[in-house]
Structure formats: C-alpha cells, structure tokens
Chains A and B, each alone.
Chain A
Amino acid sequence: MSMTRPRPRLDDLTRPFWTGGAKGLLLIQHCPSCDGWTHPPLPLCRHCGREDHGFAAVPGTGTVDSFTVNHQPWLPGMEVPFIIARVAIDGAPGVYLTTNIVGCEEADLAAGDRVRVTFEEQGDIHFPLFEKAK
C-alpha cells in the first residue's frame, strides 16, 4: 500500500492486539476458564461470559481462507495493487483476521496457503501483516 495506514483508536480492550507486535507477539483475547478465543475483543468472554479474561500469544501462523487483489486506489497516494486476505489464525479456533499478504505476487498465492505474521510499525501501532511461510 505504501501509505500511512488508518490508525485504530486504542483503548483498554484493543491495545494488546494493536501493540503486541512491539514484543513480536500476536495477542488475541483468551479465556483461561473455557479456553475460548474472542475477537474482536470484548469486556467478557463471548463463549462463557467470564469477565477475568486476558490476552494470550498465538503462534503467529495461519492459513489463507480467501483473498482479493485490490486494484482501486481508494485514497491519494495509495499504491496498488496489493493483497487483502482473510486469514484463519492457528491456535485460536474461529478467529480470522483481515490483513495484507506482503512480499508475494498475486500469482504465487492461493487459498489454503500457509502464512506467518510480520509486523509493520507505525508509531506505537504494530499492524499484523502476513507473508508466505517458508
């Protein structure tokens, strides 16, 4: 994309997800009681309702569920094309991230491909992007 990414508004619920990359971690809300994963973050576990949940690191790998090659420059300065994907996150059943697949041509990507997280830093935000797993 090569542009300033729209910046998410951080709050106590979303800060762990958006800043975990500073330590190289992909953090997803996790419930120690029922082992359920909740994304987007909520003030309780969406599976069992327990409120004393926390965040846990997932391995940072995943599988491409589907992807689109975006050709339309929606904003001035947006470099196209780039790949937007829906990735199923390993270790967090039922959690998907909309993200970019980087370092990869369209022709080299297919649904079902294995990918690994790589963080793009923008101030205190670390955007979780993915590249093809070696």
Chain B
Amino acid sequence: MTMAGVEAFITGAGQSEVGIRLSRHPLLLTVDAIREAVRDAGLTLDQIDGVFTYPGKMDTPPGFSPVSSIDVIETLGIKARWHYGGGEQPAQLSAIAAAAMAVRSGVCRHAICFRTVYEAAALSRPAEFPQPRGGEVGGALQWLLPFGALSAACWTAIPAARHVQRFGMTREHLAAIAINASRNALLNPQASAITREELTLDRYMAARLIATPFGLYDCDRFTDGSTAFIVSAGDALDEISATPIRIAAMSGSVERYSWDQAEWPAAYAAGPELWQHTDYRTGDVDLVQLYDGFSFLPITWLEGLGFCAKGEGHYFVEGGQRIARDGELPMNTAGGQLGAGRLHGFGFVHESVIQLRGRAGARQVGGKPRLAVATSGGGPMAAALLLARD
C-alpha cells in the first residue's frame, strides 16, 4: 500500500554527549543534539517550523523530562507553526509520529523532535532536583504502589514471570538479550560511560535480583543525554543534503490502558497494526531496534510484531545468534538501553537512521540494510516506526 500524498522523512539525527551524572545543563545538551540534527540535515534553524517532544517538561520524577518544546522555541528562536509535548501519547516515539502527521498534513515543513533525559545527574544533585514528598496516591498508581509495586520493574516483571510460568522462558533467555546489548554497546562510543566490559552469563546470574525474573542487568540505567531528529515533508526534500529515511509506517495502538487489567502489553496491539499501513512484511526487515528498558520487552515486541508466535519470543533470542550483528535479525545494534543507557526510546530511532545510512562504523551490519523497525514502550504504552531507505 502506498500512502497517498506527502510522506514524512527523518532527514537529520543528532545526539549530545551521553553519560552518567553530566554537569552540562540539560537545555544545553538539548541544544547540542538539535544543532547536530539540523546540521546533519543540511538545514539552518530558520528553516525549522515545528518542535515536538515526549512527554513534555515534568518536575517529577527528577530529571525525567527537564526540557520543554517551549524552552527550545525560546532558546533557539524557532518560528514554530506547531509545537507539542505531552505524555498522553502512545509511548516515547509518538513524538516523532506526531511530527510526521504535522509534515504530512502540511502544517510543518521541517520539525524538530527531541527527548532529553537527566535522571542520573538529578539524583546526584537533590538540592537542585528535589524528590517529591510522599503523599496520597491518586489515579492509576493507587492500584500498584500500595502493594510495594513501586517501579515499572515490578509491573513488567508480572507479564515476564507469566512467560516463565506459561511458556518456559528462563533467565538464560533474558541474559541473551542483555549480553547482546553489552557486546554492541562496546562498539558504540556514545555508550562508553554505561558499558565498560562485556557482560558474561556468570556475571549476569551473580547479580542481585530486582524483581523475579529480573536481576540488575535486566534493567536499564538512568542516563543523561539528549537525542534529536528533524522530520521533514516529502515535498521539502530538495532542501535536504543528507540521506532521507522514510517513515514507511507507524502505529501506537492500545486496547486497554492499564498495567494490570490488560491481558497483554500494548506491543501486542501496536505490532500487528504497523503492518496494516505498509506492503512490507517482517521478512523484509533488515534490523530491529526494540525497546529494552527491561530485557523482557524486546520479547514482547518480537512476538507482537510477528517475527515469531506469541509465547515463542524467548526461543527466538535463545543463544543470541539470531539477534547478533551478523545474525538473521540484528537487534539493538548500538547497545539498546541496557547497554547504552536510558535515552528513553529515541536512541532506537537514532541507531536505525545511522545503520540505514551505512554510517555505524565498527558496529555497521552488513548487506546495506534498507528497512528497520524501531519501537518504544512497555505495559500499556507502545509505539512502533517502520523506517526505510529508498
């Protein structure tokens, strides 16, 4: 199926310094990433007319989202025809999907999309970034927090444990994802503050438990940094000097917005939906960048997207060969969030663009990849992008 009308392309990608407890101000990290993305596209800031982010500026959790679309407009003097930053979108990558809708509808020509995280720095500077004081819990969290389920690690461990109990998943299967991430991260200079040595199965198994089946190496790590893209309209590509990457399809379906009432995480709704908007099929995909805030999540995406049947994702990753850089479906080639830090979804698109342009250096996958899937989210949140180099 070919889309009628104008299509949307990622035409620029940029990333700030990435690390743990950075001292550089989060707005300056954001400016660094945006300037690189604009330069990469071959544009200048006066050609930008949109700013999109996820989830918008938030004071809590500290450092989770310290920069707003408004900050960027004010700081860089953007003449924005549209801007948006909000959490009520289907997971992190929905900011890019929203920009794509804006350029496809003609509201914007070249839009900035960014995500800035500063949680490691914020934790180390509590006077500047105070922790919220405990109070009464309202909304959806009241059904989770009173039972000690204080982290998304607990909420995600429940469906992961079900895969253990019902489908025979083991911690060795999860380790294959974490070890693959660490191997790839060692070839990613931007991950040098997060992964310093290759994870072994022994070290994985010896690490302390967090919430079964998750141990320390099944969970991503607070990281500081900013990632930015330029999303451009298909009829504005003559202004671009870089290789454009087409957003061939996008999806963000959710059937029940709840961490515990839904039978399956939203990846099982957003995955099939992606293929409703394209003629491409799973067999056409050259590499995948699947959200791994917890090691189990790529398994839900492999199953949800249809790379394997429901309940068989752990067999797909078993031993790690199929998902290795030289395997049949290279996965998380920059190290994902487990290996390269919690850049909160945007790192998966950044790596997709770099790989599809053939500019990943030592970690470049072979065969001149043309098609990638990038995803974000867990639980009731899910967004997927199909990215193509034409």
Contact = CB atoms under 8 A, between A and B. Distances in A.
B62 to A, nearest CB: 15
Given A8-B136, A8-B142, A98-B158, A71 B148 contact: no
Contact of B149 (A66, A98, A129): A98
A81 B138 CA distance: 26
A72 B138 contact: no
B162 A1 contact: no
Interface in B147-164: 147-151, 153-155, 157-162
B212 interface: yes
A66 B211 contact: no
Contacts of B136: 6-9
Interface in A93-111: 94-100, 106, 110-111
Interface string B206-231: 00111111100000000000000000
Centre residue among A5, A14, A98 by max chain B CB count within 10 A: A98
Given A40-B140, A111-B165, A72 B147 contact: no
Contact of A70 (B134, B146, B160, B211): B211
Contacts of B166: 111
Contacts of A106: 212
Contact of A98 (B134, B147, B153): B147
Contacts of A5: 146-148
Given A6-B145, A71-B210, A96 B261 contact: yes
Contact of A69 (B137, B143, B144, B212): B212
A40 B146 contact: no
A75 B212 CA distance: 18
Nearest to B260: A98
The contact size tier of chain B is: 35 or more
Contacts of A98: 143-144, 147, 149, 155, 158, 259-260
B147 A65 contact: no
B168 to A, nearest CB: 13
A123 to B, nearest CB: 11
A86 interface: yes
Interface string A37-72: 001100000000000000000000000011111111
A111 B150 CA distance: 22
A100 B147 contact: yes
| Leading 8 A-B pairs by shortest Cβ distance | A68-B157, A66-B162, A9-B136, A8-B142, A74-B150, A71-B209, A111-B165, A9-B138
11 contacts: A6-B150, A8-B146, A14-B142, A66-B159, A66-B162, A68-B160, A70-B157, A71-B209, A74-B151, A84-B211, A86-B260
Interface of B: 134, 136-138, 140, 142-151, 153-155, 157-162, 165-166, 208-214, 258-261
